[in-house]
A and B are shown apart, each in its own frame.
Chain A
Amino acid sequence: MKATLALDQVSKEFRQGTQVVRAVDEVSLEIEAGEFVAITGASGSGKSTLLHLMAGLETPSRGRVLVAGKDLATLRDAELAALRLHTIGFVFQFFHLLPALTAEENVALPLLLAGVAPRQAAARAAELLAWVQLAPRRTARPAELSGGEMQRVALARALANDPAILLADEPTGNLDSQNGRLVLDLLYRSCKERGKTLVLATHDRAVAARADRVVELQDGAVVSISAAER
């Protein structure tokens, strides 16, 4: 079954001092399985928060977030964790690799968390690293990797448990253009070759251009949804 990601009138408010800031404002969005959706908007327009809501890392102030038909609000911590482990892969702008672990171990981490036997986990991690073209760097630690390499490791980690959905928050934001392109290619291929639903937040129009749909946010609200201008 292909997972669907749906937001239904979702708002998220933060309290900042005495002011209430609405980071996400009444967003409704349905994303098809296998679809590549880019979320764009200026810095602070609510892209990251929207992604966090999708991953169940934030709970909406109002509205519902449905992942594979389940309302995240009804899930307990353990169920949410399982969801993040099995259904959602997350790629961060700053890679967020565990510094103590090797590249391969970082990739194996979700597998191990999911209870996969260490040997199998290692094999799967090696396979994924090979896919992101990092086979020779298996034993390197994050400190020894370049930004692009780290982001590829992060992507491999996100794919480890073969999730249905990939969420990427400015994955190329910290990379030079060449590395950015490489990472974007890999993400694109994950979506198109591996059938992942890809939601990618970016302020880079060129990146957004490759998406099936582009959702533009301004002050937390959706100002336009358009098919990609190819």
Chain B
Amino acid sequence: MWALWRLISLPHVRQHRGRVVLAAAGIALGVAVFVAVRVTNVSTLRAFARTVDAIAGRASLEITGYGAPIDERLLTVVRRTPGVAAAAPLVLADVLVQEAEGAPLLVAGIDLVTDRAVRDYTFAWQETDRRDPLALLTQPDALVLSTRFARRYGLRLGDPVHVHTAQGTRRLVVRGLLRPTGAAEALGGHFAVMDIAAAQLLFHRLGRLDRIDVVPQAGFPLDALQAALQQRLGPGVQVRRPQARNRTVEKMLRSFHVNLTALSLIALIVGLFLIYNSTTSAVVQRRRELGILRALGVARRRLRRLILGEALLLGAVGSVAGVGLGLLLARLALWLVAPAITALFLREHLDRLVLTPGTALAGVALGLGTTLGAAAWPVREALRVAPLDALQQRGVYTPRQAPVWPVTLVGLGLLAAAYGLSQLPPLGEVALFGYLACLALVLGLSCLVPLLLRALGVARPLLLRGGGVEGLLALDNLRYALRRTTVATAALLTSFAMMISVAIMIQSFKRTVYTWVEQTLRADLLVHQASPGGERSGLSLPHALRDELLRLDGVRDVDSARALDITYRGDPVLLVAVDFDVYARYGTYPFAAGDPQAAMRQVLEAQAVLVSENFSRRYRLGVGDTLVLPTPRGPQRFAIAGVVIDYSSERGTITMNRRTYVAFWDDPQVDAFGVFVAPGADLDEVAQRIQRHFAGRYPLYVLTRGKFKERVLELVAQPFWVTYALEIIAIAVALLGVTTALSAAILERTRELGVLRAVGATRQRLARMVLLEGGLMGVVGGSSGLVAGFFLALILIYVINRQVFGWTLQLTVPGWFAAAAFVLLVAATLAASWRPAQQAARVPVVEAIQYE
């Protein structure tokens, strides 16, 4: 075997170095997309888990309120519970640091005196002397930063920093630094501590704590302790393991990678097509060599093993490279998308990518599996040819007009399957059948490509007239080298369909959300807290500011909105509290079910809520049903007064009147105020007046309704940016496929090209013929890709997104985008055909015609 390998394989590799590298690259790209999606996902989860662990320290249980701080006196109860070795109070707050480019920082107010029982800190000064961090107790402005954060933003001991908090802007002083161990590693170093007393005052938590971390006595059964604590503390708080939060985050992240998963599968199909093509050319080029070997008595089995071995080696190299490339891609994705994730789901600062052995192995296995699957057919076909035919190249020169009907029938079958699968309900919460429908759709349409190419025949007269004889020849080359052109065209179709479907989905998303915002947003001005950079910061504001706002000139009315992540039946959902008293005077919600007037009255006067359509769908709850929500006052029953169209959260939204909310959650904060401007008042003037009024205390970000709607659109599109990166890469892979397919076809048709030159065609005409061939592939792949993309979008919107998120999106096709993308694709295909065209032009005539 080794001898064969050395004699047959190595020279081939050496001779076709470029093509081999391309083929490996194709595999690599397919694997890379898969790995990148997994790595991004796993890294995000790991980073979060790391942060959870780092902050939890030795604590095995944590006690929190249901979306609200808890009474600090509970700490005494906890400490007196048998089995508790230590319990540490914690006040947590997000701030933005002005001196650190507005970077977010999680500030933990801890009892510096006792916290070491739970968490490890190494103060940076401890290596030089033995100062006690207790000194910080005496300085209410003392902030202890992680050295990583301090170094990243050039902050030093003694530097004053201005932090934006939900309670306004405060000046603190960097009084200490934490080495990057233990808790200081949380959030990639975006973590700081201060004394709990100062933190309670600063973040308006007097008498309350955000969390109690519990270290159990060694050997004490954790479940028993958890139960005992829960029983002693009552139903208004939750006692759980810190890691329980990881699962919640996993669910939150799911929305993000649900669409990516579908896309990565499709990207793999592109890879599959490409591998098929490279193996085919590898076999075709050596048909004569293989024929000689067969004639010399080498068994077919050995040759199969040899060639499959080659392919596998190529696949292995490509797969391994793909894993590395996937990491790079993930880095890019993070770079593009991290801000979106951070803003939408996590405060996590992602700076470390985690490649688990599982991910790497899965990536390699996928690459190898795809390689084997794709290589098996061409290898089989090549070895089936009789040795003598192979020697004489007869099989090549006489194109077998493979009938297109079998594959077309398979394609139709797949399309029918796609339809059938799209009608199935989700498996658990995974839209498995939706994904399968996507795959079936793409594969099915790919199977129709041969028919399409064959059908191009009707365009012959047209081409003859327009493109001359080159056009005719190009067309025929496409039609009669179906084996090769089909696959490359299908790859184009697939990758382009991917892009189009996502574009349609984004557009539909935007349109839908825009319409929704249009319907529900009534206030003239939206007031948020501003970040140091002057953007919207995500920090909340005290509801008490409402009275001040109301007193300002030109302000007619003010309502507010507060959004809180809560858990319903173990799932994260969004709770939104709105000043319905005000809101109801100006507008109403778009109701999907329930009598709007009665519902609004009920929400105002009773313990009733509105739920979003996706919430209603997910939990099968409707008007008249009752929800039991965990609140800081224990579980409470809320009647569902109506089901409304609401796109605030893909996990489901519950909306209630602020008065109801405050009664149970006792939360003084809001996320935004809506200001109704008095008739005749100038919007910008009022906006400026508001900002001026709060200057120095609260930096405010005031947007008009119109601007806000634009921002919403940006926000909606943001998470999808990474998908464009993936799509472009997939298209690049497919274009590479076109290049290889054309190159290989040229090798196969060397003699034909020689003959053409011998009968009087110029080099340019041959080049033009190949360009036309590529262009036609682009046109066929692109146009069928448009169709596939449209149907893919239908599945994404009406099956996958609906099943996973429960959303109904209005289908909106971005026509101009699609048209421009199509033109670009055809142009790109022409560009991809450039090298093969040059190759065709350089065919040596005499050698070409002298075979045999």
Contact = CB atoms under 8 A, between A and B. Distances in A.
Q: Do A and B bind each other?
A: yes
Interface of A: 48, 52, 55, 57-58, 77-78, 81-86, 90, 92, 94, 96-101, 105, 109-110, 112-115, 118, 142-143, 157-158, 161
Chain A CB count within 10 A is highest, among B468, B469, B754, B852, for B469
Contacts of B758: 55, 57, 84, 90, 92, 96
A92 B852 CA distance: 12
B476 A48 contact: no
Contacts of A92: 755, 758, 849
Contact of A113 (B469, B751, B849): B469
B846 A84 contact: no
A143 B398 contact: yes
A49 B398 CA distance: 26
Contacts of B469: 109, 112-113
Contact of B476 (A84, A100, A113, A157): A100
Nearest to A157: B759
Contacts of B473: 98, 100
Given A92-B849, A112-B472, A98 B752 contact: yes
Contacts of B468: 112, 115
B461 A78 contact: no
Contacts of B845: 57
Nearest to A93: B852
Nearest to B392: A94
Given A48-B850, A112-B464, A113-B760, 11 more contacts: A81-B762, A82-B760, A94-B851, A96-B751, A96-B755, A98-B752, A98-B756, A105-B472, A112-B468, A113-B759, A113-B765
B295 interface: no
Contact of A99 (B399, B472, B765): B399
Contact of B761 (A81, A96, A115, A161): A81
Contacts of B472: 105, 112
Nearest to B465: A118
A90 B761 CA distance: 13
Interface string B439-472: 0000000000000000000000100110011001
Contact of A101 (B476, B760, B762): B476
Given A101-B476, A113-B765, A81 B751 contact: no
Contacts of B834: none
B770 to A, nearest CB: 15
A86 B755 contact: no
A81 B755 contact: no
B480 interface: yes
7 contacts: A52-B846, A81-B761, A81-B762, A82-B760, A98-B752, A105-B472, A143-B399
- Pairs of residues from A and B, 3 with the lowest C-beta to C-beta distance, nearest first: A85-B760, A112-B469, A100-B476
Interface of B: 397-399, 461, 464-465, 468-469, 472-473, 476-477, 479-480, 751-752, 754-765, 845-846, 849-852
A96 B393 CA distance: 13
Nearest to A142: B398
Contact of B762 (A78, A94, A112, A161): A78
Given A57-B845, A58-B846, A100-B399, A118 B464 contact: yes
Nearest to A78: B762
A222 B473 CA distance: 41
Contacts of B762: 77-78, 81
Contacts of B398: 99, 142-143
A51 to B, nearest CB: 10
Contacts of B464: 112, 118
A99 B759 contact: no
A58 B764 CA distance: 19
Contacts of A55: 758
B850 A118 contact: no
A86 to B, nearest CB: 7
B439 to A, nearest CB: 33
> How would you classify the secondary structure of chain A's contact residues: helix, strand, loop or mixed?
helix
Contact of B846 (A57, A81, A85): A57
B369 to A, nearest CB: 35
A153 to B, nearest CB: 12
B307 to A, nearest CB: 26
Contacts of B756: 98, 109
A100 B760 contact: no
Contacts of B846: 52, 57-58
A161 B759 CA distance: 10
Contacts of B751: 96
A99 B480 contact: yes
Contacts of A90: 758-759
Nearest to B850: A48
Contacts of A99: 397-399, 480, 752
B759 to A, nearest CB: 5
A99 B760 CA distance: 18
A110 B757 CA distance: 10
Nearest to B478: A100
A109 B852 CA distance: 24
Given A57-B845, A99-B398, A81 B461 contact: no
Contact of B461 (A85, A118, A142): A118
Contacts of B849: 57, 92, 96
Contacts of A84: 757-760
A110 B480 contact: no
Given A85-B759, A110-B760, A100 B480 contact: yes
Contacts of A112: 464, 468-469, 472
B763 A77 contact: yes
A92 B759 CA distance: 11
Contacts of A77: 762-763
A112 B765 CA distance: 12
Contacts of B399: 99-100, 143
Contacts of A94: 851-852
Contact of B760 (A48, A86, A98): A86
A58 B760 CA distance: 14
Chain B CB count within 10 A is highest, among A85, A90, A100, A105, for A100
Chain A CB count within 10 A is highest, among B472, B759, B763, for B759
A52 to B, nearest CB: 5
A109 B477 contact: no
Given A57-B845, A85-B760, A112-B468, A98 B397 contact: no
Contacts of B759: 84-85, 90, 109-110, 113, 157-158
Contacts of B477: 100
A94 B399 CA distance: 16
Contacts of A118: 461, 464-465
A67 to B, nearest CB: 13
Contacts of B850: 48
Nearest to A87: B760
Nearest to A90: B758
Contacts of B397: 99
Contacts of B479: 100
B755 A98 contact: yes
A79 B450 CA distance: 39
Contacts of A81: 757, 760-763, 765
A55 B472 CA distance: 26
Contacts of A97: 755
Contacts of A157: 759
Contacts of A96: 751-752, 754-755, 758, 849
Contacts of A110: 759-760
B297 to A, nearest CB: 28
A180 B469 CA distance: 31
B224 to A, nearest CB: 81
A88 to B, nearest CB: 8
